[in-house]
Chain A
């Protein structure tokens, strides 16, 4: 179980970031972000300064989890796209692979059709990037621990310092 931790490296993070920037521009969206299914925010692009992205990430993952639960009750594997329409803003949520959630928030400057089209394109690129990350993690596992592991020398004092 610990073996399935999500690990992000500098190189892939840059690729993901630029893919999100591209999606943000091409879909005319307000905000685009990527969350893992456990509610951890991975990356974001656009007007994020007024948004509590941590909470949004956790609630989006909760939303996907609840919808996935409904899907299984109905004998579906998963609902891969969710769409919520508001008075001003709309939110388009889609699953990338089995693990990552792509969220696009947009208003009247864009349209559902455009968002769906661009999300589809980005999904392909993002899937490739996450496949690369998985390969890299597997490779690193085979070759022993990471060189710059932050855990190597972790001590009781380190943990005490967190709770001061």
Chain B
């Protein structure tokens, strides 16, 4: 649900990073925050527990530049990944324009990835969205670890629709901007279809 302001010539879009607990959603936002010019970003807000687990959401506003005289702003959110924060997770999806699913590449996390993807679809459906119709990109994170699943296998488990998909190492930034750019592109082209 974008906000198109003809008065201030701004377009605001909401992108949500989704995925199982500890998959690296917050790390993605932290990297984007570190690597963006000060004048292009707002504060990175993290509503987290004392042990730095996301409690409600992280929020990062980005104003990357102009297109056709309109300032394009992206509001990036993460959801809390832990299973028992289901109620909060649902709320963050309200008004979403695009979704990034961050998957944890470790063998033992495959089941959590699949559960989280199902959870995403269910929560979107509750808000009246269909994942199939939303701008959507996937990141296979933690590719630097040793006990990881091959990407072909992850494709089979998580990406049967063949949406844009990126290998990532969010701690060092690999794949982070590629993923964001890909979903941003889909969001803007989706808007183009309607306006």
**Interface size bracket, B side:** 35 or more
Question: A122 on the interface (CB 8 Å rule)?
Answer: no
Cα A7 to Cα B11 in complex, Å, equals 9
Contacts of B38 in A (CB 8 A): none
- Chain B minimum-CB-distance residue to A156: B185
**A150 and B88 contact, CB distance less than 8 A:** no
For window 5-45 of A, CB contacts with B under 8 Å fall at 5-10, 12-14, 36-40, 42
Question: A153 on the interface (CB 8 Å rule)?
Answer: yes
**B4 and A5 contact, CB distance less than 8 A:** yes
Question: A142 on the interface (CB 8 Å rule)?
Answer: no
Q: In the complex, how many angstroms separate the beta carbon of B20 from the nearest chain A beta carbon?
A: 21
Contacts of B191 in A (CB 8 A): 2, 5, 151
**A58 and B45 contact, CB distance less than 8 A:** yes
Which of A7, A42, A54 is most buried by chain B, counting CB atoms within 10 A of its CB? Answer: A54
Cα A163 to Cα B62 in complex, Å, equals 11
Decide yes or no: A65 and B194 within 8 Å by CB, A6-B4, A158-B67, A162-B65 being known contacts: no
Tally the A-B contacts, defined by beta carbons under 8 Å. Answer: 140
Contacts of A6 in B (CB 8 A): 1-4
For window 42-93 of B, CB contacts with A under 8 Å fall at 42-43, 45, 47, 56-57, 59, 61, 64-65, 67-70, 72, 75, 87-88, 90-92
Decide yes or no: A55 and B87 within 8 Å by CB, A146-B195, A148-B6 being known contacts: no
**B59 and A55 contact, CB distance less than 8 A:** yes
- Chain B minimum-CB-distance residue to A154: B192
Cα A64 to Cα B164 in complex, Å, equals 33
- Chain B minimum-CB-distance residue to A151: B192
Which of B1, B14, B45 is most buried by chain A, counting CB atoms within 10 A of its CB? Answer: B1
A/B interface sample: 19 pairs, CB < 8 A: A1-B129, A1-B133, A7-B4, A8-B6, A39-B75, A52-B42, A55-B42, A55-B43, A58-B75, A62-B59, A66-B88, A68-B91, A69-B87, A69-B88, A149-B195, A151-B188, A159-B184, A162-B65, A163-B180
